[in-house]
Every structure is written in structure tokens, then in C-alpha cells.
Amino acid sequence: MGELLELVSFIKEGGIASMLVVIVAVMGTAIAIERWVAVQFRYSVNSRAFMAKLKKYILSDNIDRAISLCNSRSQALLPKVLKSGLTRAKDSTADIQNAIDEATLEAIPKLEARALYLPTLANLATLIGLFGTILGLIMAFRSAGDGVDAVQRQMFLQKAIAIAMHTTCLGIAVAIPMLFVHAVLQSRINQIISDIDQYSVKLINLLSAAQKMGRPNAQVDDEGAQQAND
């Protein structure tokens, strides 16, 4: 409790600039939590294990089970992208590729949404802290020219220095963790995008190979039907 009161006192001594930094910190914290929950839990999936199950269904020519597996993780982005290719499994490779590309273009903005606000807010917190520093220095210089006694001048100077130092410290203290969280989030986002690209290509190759394996059987059936008609 004492530490909390000290923090509140520290912010008050920084004046309006410190209040603005606190507002930026609250906004950044809300965005960071929302993005972390979305990226880490809602949009992600164990890609290697998921693809292993999907591959088993595709090789056994059970496309419906593969689609059902994707539907079981409907919010995760990798299953959503792969499902778009599975629904076109009987079409040409180009059609499968186009469907996957379209789904990927829809998925990536969901991953990156609002994450880019974090470095912007970190820079804003730093700049507000710098603004408070300059404001405090201006007040300190003004105190030297005011026609007041030495005691009041000393108090005014202390207040100006407090504003200058506290806002700078608070701005940097907010910016550093915000930049770190953004770096961690961006790394996870890049990993999900990489998984989408990698396993999309693997899915196209699997479906293409499955189609090639099925065509000779289909040709034999057609020839047998033609001979029967003759």
C-alpha cells in the first residue's frame, strides 16, 4: 500500500505531463493484453501436430474428416486457411492456391490489428516525458527572474525540477516494457504467418499428389466403362 501511495505521489509531482503518460500507459496495457490473448490463445494452434493429423486424413482420402478437424479450431488462423484449400480439394492446383491466398490475405490483418499501436504509444510516452522535461526547465528558468524571496524561489525550483525529472522517468518506464511486449508479440505473429505459408504449400502438394494418385484409377474405370459399352 505504501508503494502505491508513493507511486501516486510520484505521478502527481510530475504534473499534467505525467498524467498524460499514465493515460498512454493504460491504453498500451489494454492493447497489449488484448493482442496477447488473441495471438497466443485465439489465433494460434500447435501447427506441427495439427498438420500431422490433417496429412493422415488427406492420405486416406478422407477430406470430410480433414475439414471437420479444421472446423474444430475455427478461430485459429492456420486451420481456417487450410480449410479454404480443402474445400477446393477436387479442383485444380491453381484454384486451390487462389483459395488459400485469399484466406491468407483475410487472416494476416487479424493478426497484425492494433499491434502496431504499441511502438507508437511507446514513442508517444517518451515524447510526452521529454515535453514535461522541457516544461520543467522553462519553469526553473522563470523562477530565477521572479521577484520573490529565496525560500519561495527554492520551492518553485524544486517543483520545476520534479516535473522535469519525474515525467522523463515515467515516460521511459512506460516505453521500455511496451516496446518489449511489441517485440514478443511481433515475433509470435511472424511465427504464425510463417506456419501459414509453410503448411499451405505442404497442403497444396498433398492435394496435388492425391489427385495424381487418383487419376490413373479414374482413367482405368473410364476405359473399362467404354469397353463394356462397346
Dump the DSSP string for 66-107.
HHHHHHHTTTSHHHHHHHHHHTTTTS-HHHHHHHHHHHHHHH
Give the domain extent around 19. 2-212
pLDDT of 215 strictly over 60: no
User: DSSP 3-state assignment of 12?
Assistant: helix
pLDDT of 219 strictly over 70: no
Would you state the pLDDT for residue 101?
92
pLDDT of 91 strictly over 90: no
pLDDT of 129 strictly over 60: yes
Domain count, the chain: 1
Residue 217 within a domain: no
Residue 51 within a domain: yes
Would you state the pLDDT for residue 3?
66
Give mean pLDDT, residues 152-166: 77
Mean pLDDT estimate for the chain: 83
Would you state the pLDDT for residue 102?
93
Would you state the pLDDT for residue 162?
78
Residue 37 within a domain: yes
Residue 176 within a domain: yes
Give mean pLDDT, residues 27-53: 92
Residue 220 within a domain: no
pLDDT of 120 strictly over 60: yes
For 62, other C-beta atoms within 10 Å of its C-beta total 13
Would you state the pLDDT for residue 119?
94
Give mean pLDDT, residues 27-55: 92
Residue 70 within a domain: yes
Give mean pLDDT, residues 154-183: 86
Would you state the pLDDT for residue 159?
77
pLDDT of 29 strictly over 80: yes
For the CA atoms of 213, 216, 218, 219, the dihedral, rounded to the nearest 10 degrees, stands at: 160
